[in-house]
């Protein structure tokens, strides 16, 4: 079967870039991305590429290549489903915040809504592809809904998890380490295989059974997050002993069996996937009675929460046990550099902790809007909200502050005139570097009291 038309439901951080690259690389396939959110679709269609709903290096070029040619963004979900031979489901699957599995299980209500809509609208046979990260055996549920509520149309279900990381999404999509396709029906698998083989070397396209594919995605994220929690746990030990976590990471990373990536100590991992997927894994293990397995993975999250909390506690302790009325500048709000995404960002937790101690917070992030920062802090009351100021200028954010905390590893922070920043701060001038980003020696020479994660000032 040769695919000529694709529909993707969900124009988010996953659906948007993934489908844009498929359209760019397969000019003969019409790709329509649909979303319930009208303003999001309007932003994808905006002629000013600065207004795309997500910031991702290289994405504007991909959109320029394909939009209007064979890539379309629309809110007419029914029409796009009807026209497509292959439908990707790329809607969000947040952690459930109610009922059974609250705080752990994935909320699949949007997935189910999509399946029911596909079943209602479809008049011809279709391949349905799970792009969203889903708990193991979700494909079975989707198939059940499609087969029992459809109009006698045949559906094939494939699992095709996305491994792109935000900030490097376009690069990851152009040159993936691997593409994973889980399925049972050979014809459906080869239809999707043919799409990717337009630009991905065939030996990098892996086919497995559906359950292996679904579980591989959760496992990949769990392993990556585990590495971050592992190095973060060592960072605390380094601070107590005089070892330096960057040196330890370099030394262990040169062991080919360990590898050098994902060994950067930090303020704690964030992002929409790590916590959600591990909680999901923990929930699945528990539901099979595998308590040791569940406890093992849960510890990765416990460690991450500890890392975020101890960073803010250290600021409070160092500033003579009180930050009440003091100005603290937070540089960076996104969960990592090169994205405007703030989901589960450590900055949120750190700001909340400092505000609960009545600190005045000034935030600067090169890509995150003031509106988003305020949305992330909706849990605060009105009085606490007054303690937060968002600045468009890093020098203004840092001016007259008692301390600066680096929370995201934006490259531009390294280019600042730190002498000027120092001169405009209260003394002693503290910098808490949550990303080990700045040059320690230079910062100390300028006069800062410089405190970095995972290194002691012993």
Hey, which residues are catalytic here?
162, 217, 273
Tokens at residue 442, please? Answer: 């230079």
Paired with 430 in beta bridges are: 403, 449
Positions in 250-279 near ligand UDX (CB under 6 A)? 262-264, 266, 269-274
CB-wise, 262 or 296, nearer to ligand UDX? 262
Shortest CB 358 distance to ligand UDX, Å: 27
The phi and psi torsions of 256 (rounded to 5 degrees) equal -55, -25
CB 313 within 8 Å of CB 321:
no
Shortest CB 311 distance to ligand UDX, Å: 12
Residue 89: strand, helix, or coil: strand
Radius of gyration (C-alpha) of the chain in whole angstroms: 24
CB within 8 Å of 375: residues ≥ 6 apart: none
**Nearest by Cα to 81 from 50, 122, 45:** 122
Among 3, 7, 14, 108, binds ligand UDX (CB under 6 A): 14
Among 3, 10, 284, 450, binds ligand UDX (CB under 6 A): 10
Shortest CB 96 distance to ligand UDX, Å: 14
Among 336, 367, 402, 440, binds ligand UDX (CB under 6 A): 336
Q: How many helices (H) and strands (E) does the chain have?
A: 18, 14
Positions in 98-117 near ligand UDX (CB under 6 A)? 110, 113-114
Shortest CB 16 distance to ligand UDX, Å: 7
Segment interacting with ligand UDX, rule: CB under 6 A, options 8-16, 188-196, 362-370, 412-420: 8-16
Shortest CB 162 distance to ligand UDX, Å: 5
Q: Count other C-beta atoms under 10 Å from residue 374's C-beta.
A: 14
- Alpha carbon distance 263, 223 (integer Å): 12
CB-wise, 73 or 155, nearer to ligand UDX? 73
**Residue with the shortest CB distance to ligand UDX:** 12
Among 30, 40, 126, 326, binds ligand UDX (CB under 6 A): 40
Is residue 328 within the footprint of ligand UDX (CB under 6 A)?
Answer: no
Q: Count other C-beta atoms under 10 Å from residue 206's C-beta.
A: 14
Residues 407-436 as b or e (16 or more Cβ within 10 Å = b): bbbbeebeeeebeebbeebeeebbbbbbbb
Shortest CB 79 distance to ligand UDX, Å: 14
Q: Would you mind telling me the total number of residues written for the chain in this entry? A: 458
Among 15, 101, 150, 183, binds ligand UDX (CB under 6 A): 15
Tokens at residue 64, please? Answer: 């320029």
Tokens at residue 378, please? Answer: 């909706």
Segment interacting with ligand UDX, rule: CB under 6 A, options 11-19, 193-201, 279-287, 291-299: 11-19
Query: What are the residues binding ligand UDX (CB under 6 A)?
Result: 9-15, 35-37, 40, 90-93, 110, 113-114, 132-133, 162-166, 221, 224, 228, 262-264, 266, 269-274, 335-336
């Amino acid at each position: 079967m040769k695919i000529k038309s694709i529909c993707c439901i969900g124009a988010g951080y996953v659906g948007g870039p993934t489908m844009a690259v498929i359209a760019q690389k397969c000019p003969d396939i019409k790709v329509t991305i649909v979303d319930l959110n009208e303003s999001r679709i309007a932003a994808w269609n905006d002629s000013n590429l600065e207004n795309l709903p997500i910031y991702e290096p290289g994405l504007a070029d991909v959109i320029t290549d394909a939009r209007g040619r064979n890539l379309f963004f629309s809110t007419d979900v029914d029409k796009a489903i009807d026209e497509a031979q292959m439908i990707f489901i790329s809607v969000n699957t947040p952690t459930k915040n109610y009922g059974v599995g609250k705080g752990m299980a994935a909320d699949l209500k949007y997935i189910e809504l999509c399946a029911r809509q596909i079943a209602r609208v479809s008049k011809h046979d279709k391949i349905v592809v799970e792009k969203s990260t889903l708990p193991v055996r979700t494909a079975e549920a989707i198939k059940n809904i499609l087969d029992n509520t459809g109009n006698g149309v045949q559906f094939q279900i494939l699992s095709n998890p996305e491994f792109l990381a935000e900030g490097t999404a376009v690069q990851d999509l152009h040159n993936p380490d691997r593409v994973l396709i889980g399925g049972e029906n050979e014809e459906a698998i080869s239809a999707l295989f043919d799409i990717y083989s337009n630009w991905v070397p065939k030996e990098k396209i892996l086919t497995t059974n559906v359950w292996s594919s679904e579980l591989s995605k959760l496992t990949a994220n769990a392993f990556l997050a585990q590495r971050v929690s592992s190095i973060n746990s060592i960072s605390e030990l380094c601070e107590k002993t005089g070892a330096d976590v960057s040196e330890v990471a370099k030394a262990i990373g040169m062991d080919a069996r360990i590898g050098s990536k994902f060994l950067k100590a930090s303020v704690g991992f964030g992002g929409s996937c790590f916590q959600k997927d591990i909680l999901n894994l923990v929930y699945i293990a528990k539901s099979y009675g595998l308590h040791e397995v569940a406890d093992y993975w849960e510890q990765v999250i416990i460690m991450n929460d500890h890392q975020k909390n101890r960073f803010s506690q250290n600021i409070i302790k160092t500033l003579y046990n009180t930050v009440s009325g003091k100005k603290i500048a937070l540089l960076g709000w996104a969960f990592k550099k090169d994205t405007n995404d703030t989901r589960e960002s450590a900055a949120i937790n750190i700001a909340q902790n400092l505000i609960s101690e009545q600190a005045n917070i000034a935030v600067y992030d090169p890509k995150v809007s003031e509106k988003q920062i305020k949305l992330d802090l909706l849990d605060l009351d009105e009085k606490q909200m007054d303690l937060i100021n968002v600045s468009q200028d890093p020098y203004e954010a840092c001016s007259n502050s008692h301390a600066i905390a680096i929370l995201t590893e934006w490259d531009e922070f390294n280019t600042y005139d730190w002498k000027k920043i120092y001169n405009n701060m209260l003394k002693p001038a503290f910098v808490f570097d949550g990303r080990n980003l700045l040059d320690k020696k230079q910062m100390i020479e300028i006069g800062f009291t410089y405190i970095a994660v995972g290194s002691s000032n012993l």
